[in-house]
Amino acid sequence: MTTTFDAETAENLIEIEKQFAVKAVEHAQTYWQLLEAVPPSRLKLTKFDDEIYSDFLEQFPEYNADHSAIRVIDEDAMKSKDNKLRWNKFMKSYEKKVQDHNFGSLIRRDANGDYDEQNTMFVPRMQ
């Protein structure tokens, strides 16, 4: 018997969450190595990076108006109910273009700091 999996109604299983966390740590380590090797202004992760960035600035103008909001992220504001809906809509618009449009990632709250327990938060990632 074949059944379809519905992610919207699925339970959070601890084993899946652990696997997700392992992938997020691996991604953070790889990304950090890239940042050490390539200046961020020259780093391209997909052929859609410029389009994604332009759309990001359009959908989230508060980050364009205040660059310090990107350098030091307010986790509570980013993960508010309204912003979760905004981020979900933004990411879903790329599900046909970007292969990894709905995964998780560890990011640094303060861009000037390292990846460590106090400076890291888990967010959805699109690429």
Residue 53 lies in a domain: yes
Residue 30 is assigned to a structural domain of this protein: no
Residue 41 has what pLDDT? 81
* Residue ranges of E strands in 25-110: 103-108
Q: What is the pLDDT of residue 61?
A: 92
Residue 14 lies in a domain: no
pTM of the full predicted structure? 0.66
**Domain assignment present for 16:** no
Q: For the chain, what is the domain count?
A: 1
Domain of 59 in residue numbering reads as 46-125
Tell me whether residue 59 is in a domain: yes
| CATH code assigned at 86 | 1.10.3560.10
Q: Packing angle between helix 81-92 and helix 49-59, nearest 10 degrees?
A: 150
In a domain, 7, yes or no: no
The answer to whether residue 13 sits within a structural domain is no
* pLDDT at residue 110, as a whole number: 95
Q: What is the pLDDT of residue 119?
A: 92
pLDDT at 3: 64
pLDDT at 109 (0 to 100): 92
Taking the CB of residue 98, how many other CB atoms lie within 10 A of it? 20
Residue 52 lies in a domain: yes
Cα–Cα distances in angstroms (integers) from residue 34 to residues 26, 63, 80, in the given order: 13, 23, 30
Extract the residue ranges of the chain whose pLDDT is less than 70: 1-3, 5-13, 100-102, 127
